Structure 1
Amino acid sequence: MDTQQNTALTRALAEVPGPLPTRGVIHITIPHTDRFTIVGNHLAQHPDLSCTAVGIAVRIQSLPQGTEVGIKALAARCKEGEKRIAAALRELEAHGYLQRLRHRLPGKKVITRTVFCNQPAALLHPRSRPAVEALPRPAASAAVPVRVPARAHVPAPVLTAAPPPAPEVPSAPPVLPPLFERRVPPPTAPKAPRRPLPQPSALTPELDRAATAFLSDLHRHAPQFFLSEDDVRRLVPGVAAWLERAARPDAIRRALTDDPPHPLRHPAKLLAHRLTELLPPAPPGVDGLAALAARPRVVVTPFQTCDDCDRAFRSPTPGHCRDCRETRAAYARAAA
């Protein structure tokens, strides 16, 4: 029996779409064909309801109409005691899932009716009439009785069907934009190819020795980054590319080993990813520095304060603003 169960479980896991997660729950979903109840995630994952209240709500929702759902009736069906069931019912009543109403019968007898709503948030918004009510009524309901006079010797009235009304074609519902835009690609979407490991312009013997020594000594500073000889040879070009770009070994070590995932299962893959994605820019060469020095500089004219009106104006030398200069020129012409 154990072997059959393991085989069935292995076969079911193989049919799960997409890659299996490395941690957490794995769902094997088999569609129900009978005896099932639809439960919303707003109830199953309610942040303020206890697990007992959620279970009692699912039990009540699965029962047919008219079933007793009082405290004693639920205690007879469930393993929880009356105190826990009473507390769970109070939680459901506080969050709108349950409501207990008192109703007086004609004989002055008072009864309590329990009303359970599977989606209380929907009661806060006006609900539209169901689409089936918009369809035309059957033509049989349009039959009109017609009496025939006695001389026609007809013993019973004859029903004559009136012409059925033209069926109303329901208008197409408006196309509404989606509430949420999917930004995460589905698991079956093709993955983008990985970028190749950076390569130096020339892997000189000095760069090769420095990169090999750096990778071989990496586990002394971060014990979880213990590399094999093949991993070192494969990652040497990437480290050489960093060293070629004037990156210091301690800076490279911090960039590659800082904040690794726990547990770290593939240190070589993480190093290859960080060597590729965090590659620093190449330092500017002699031509780049010469072009930077030859770039024309923007000269900003400083602000000056006018000697007459104390107003700020731009000028390379202190003096008077334009209005004061024009006023002085006008006075000079008038004096002449």
Structure 2
Amino acid sequence: MDTQQNTALSRALAEIPGPLPARGVIHIAIPHTDRFTVVGNHLAQHPGLSCTAVGIAVRIQSLPQGVEVGIKALAARCREGEKRVAAALRELEAFGYLQRVRNRLPSGRVITRTIFCNQPTALLHPRSPAAAPTPPRAPAQTETPAPAAEQPMPPTPTGLPGPSETPSPEAPALFPVLPPQPQLPQSSPFVPLPPSLPLVPPPTAPKPPPAPLPRPDALTPELDRAATAFLSDLRRHAPQFMLSETDVRQLVPGVAAWLERAARPDAVRRILTTDLPHPLRHPAKLLKHRLTALLPPPLPGSHDLAAPARPRVTVTPFQTCDDCDRAFRSPAPGHCRDCREHREHRSEATRTAA
């Protein structure tokens, strides 16, 4: 028998309104009503996380609180081995999605708490919830607060004990009962994020001052005249750079710094006038930015390009002993060590006999 074709996707594809894309994936989105987890695109499309780390993060995010998410526990739930699970947890820790904190219980036992945040970048700039607008009340209607004993208690989830209830032994527990553990401080619910997490400054943060325009070591009359002529002639090659005399005088030191570093005028002109934005609203500001950001280093001198001299090694030459003709190293001719010792012993024996 031939393989049965799944016609459900074909029927759903025919019901998609609008033209279908010529290539790429086609989504058939069916809304979930139960058993689903919301996952942000910052995690699903994270450029720095591997697919294994993204899958482990989604698995952890879908589990209820209190479930063990250690390396061995996740390896038992997934097809990946312990090594791949451990590597994925390290990736999640590096980008701030996962935190593992060691705490000491009152009994002295040390435990490891695993904290998972579904959106770590939101912790850097928490937003205060906006106050809900209160509807206007009629002046004639007044409400008196109910006594404390008559105020209704907030509803509790099904299966969980309320404020004055005790869990029934017959009712199955939704989550495993854990021993009492010290709570994290309310002021800082999460451990400080690692420095590897990129910090995005708020829009109102003060911007750093722009870099100053480069200046030559010595603005000679020749450099000043050449830079002025270069800027004045720039509109012939690029009509967008119709500079005023004030702009030319302000940009002359930057062009002079380029010319002082042996940059050819045609090369400088090509760098300054290539790949221009459209439309160009501030030509003088663009020239100042490019003259500052693209300044080349000065040319090295001949002594900088010369190969470093090798250190000279002094080699002690060979000498021939005058008595035994043995070769030995010495800066001056004479006798070898054995012959010198023999001569010293013979001299001592002669003095002793005398």
Q: TM range, normalised to the smaller chain?
A: 0.3 to 0.5
TM-score, scaled relative to structure 2: 0.37
Question: Which structure's relative contact order is higher, taking Cα pairs within 8 Å and 6+ residues apart?
Answer: 2
TM-score, scaled relative to structure 1: 0.39
